[in-house]
Homo-oligomer: A and B are copies of this chain.
């Protein structure tokens, strides 16, 4: 980890320092991905099976997992793992249940009733990446809010072979359909539908560069599907003071670094001593880490920033807008009012990122790559739409008539005006009759 002193940098150097590396590959693969999407739209299941055979080397042609297969998979999951998944489920469900909105109804003036309602998005698609280890937590984080929001249809797809734990978690969350398919072809199938795969309205979940590009492309097409949020490499920024436990800080930095070689890891501290102690702890812990090779790559592009004080540390964090922000200081909550842009904030020595990644109750799907300046942590609201309802009485319309007709005149919209004056004429006739 490179160490810099914030106050030895000019404003341009500071800007450069906090600028994330450009994401690679998107351009090279976008034409491949658009070809895949076009073929899925044209040939449906046939293309889907061919891509699955070619990319995932699975040729049994089974796309949707049948009830019997689901049941068998659930039975193979160990009781200990079922306990863990159940425990995480309860906490995540509790926190997302609490996010249920209450309908809003305001009478802005006599006879003018304005309401804000929410409705679940009808059909959602969840993408769970494959790979060596089953991402059980991703299933819970994506499917629990969909279930609580009341989405009519919840489709999940994951590349073959789909791990038993994923099937168990999906079943627990009430997922309606599970498909064994991955990559850009899976995103295309959910966005447009095929003979077998149900079309969805919105797609959620992480993925590799192909999946990310496919999500981007289908979200650009109004016939396609909306997506959860733009994707980027995972990242953590830790603000720590001289009293922080170097081993805890090192462990938190490493648990981000092991995610992937492109993970971003930043330590900001007013204490040069802590910075050194953390470096040593990182090296020591790295030596006995299973995914040391990946973590080392991530650390090579990572940063330690030594600054004046915690106030300046907050300014630096707001400028960087991290996905995860860990605050290990004597009074972590005291900094909260100064912290602006972050996806999720972890306060104090006993709150490692991994509790939020798995089981505390918060969602681990968060805006990366600086998107925390405008994007939100995934929550119930992302599975719902807000819409307004209004109802006026005749008296209510009378009270608004002059204002509406004057503004319609100013905007040169005669029919907008007529829609009001015509009604007023009828009211006046009724009054005279």
Chain B binder among A6-14, A173-181, A359-367? A359-367
Per-residue CB contact flags for chain A residues 399-416 toward chain B (1 = under 8 Å, else 0) read 010111011101111111
Query: By the criterion CB–CB under 8 Å, are A81 and B410 in contact?
Result: yes
Query: By the criterion CB–CB under 8 Å, are A385 and B381 in contact?
Result: no
| In the complex, A432 has a CB within 8 A of chain B | no
Copies of this chain, whole number:
2
For residue A387, which residue of chain B has the nearest CB? B377
Query: By the criterion CB–CB under 8 Å, are A390 and B136 in contact?
Result: no
Name the residue among A80, A402, A415 with the largest chain B CB count within 10 angstroms.
Answer: A415
Query: By the criterion CB–CB under 8 Å, are B415 and A257 in contact?
Result: yes
A255 to B: closest C-beta gap in Å: 4
Per-residue CB contact flags for chain A residues 410-425 toward chain B (1 = under 8 Å, else 0) read 1111111111101100
| In the complex, A271 has a CB within 8 A of chain B | no
Cβ of A393: which chain B residues have Cβ within 8 Å of it?
350
Partner of A104, one of B85, B99, B290: B99
Cβ of A360: which chain B residues have Cβ within 8 Å of it?
108, 112, 114, 390, 392, 400
Query: By the criterion CB–CB under 8 Å, are B132 and A374 in contact?
Result: no
Partner of A355, one of B134, B344, B392: B392
The interface size bin for chain A is 35 or more
Residues of A within 8 A of B (CB): 20, 80-81, 83-85, 87-88, 90-91, 94-95, 98-99, 104, 106, 108-109, 112, 114, 116, 119, 121-122, 132-137, 165, 201-202, 216, 220, 222, 225-226, 230, 232, 245, 247-248, 251-252, 254-255, 257-259, 285, 289-291, 295, 332-333, 336, 340-363, 369-377, 379, 381, 385-394, 396-397, 400, 402-404, 406-408, 410-420, 422-423, 426
22 example contacts (A-B, Cβ-Cβ < 8 A) are as follows: A85-B407, A88-B407, A91-B109, A98-B116, A99-B104, A116-B379, A119-B340, A137-B411, A222-B369, A247-B422, A251-B423, A255-B415, A290-B414, A351-B390, A352-B420, A355-B420, A358-B416, A360-B400, A363-B388, A373-B385, A379-B388, A381-B381
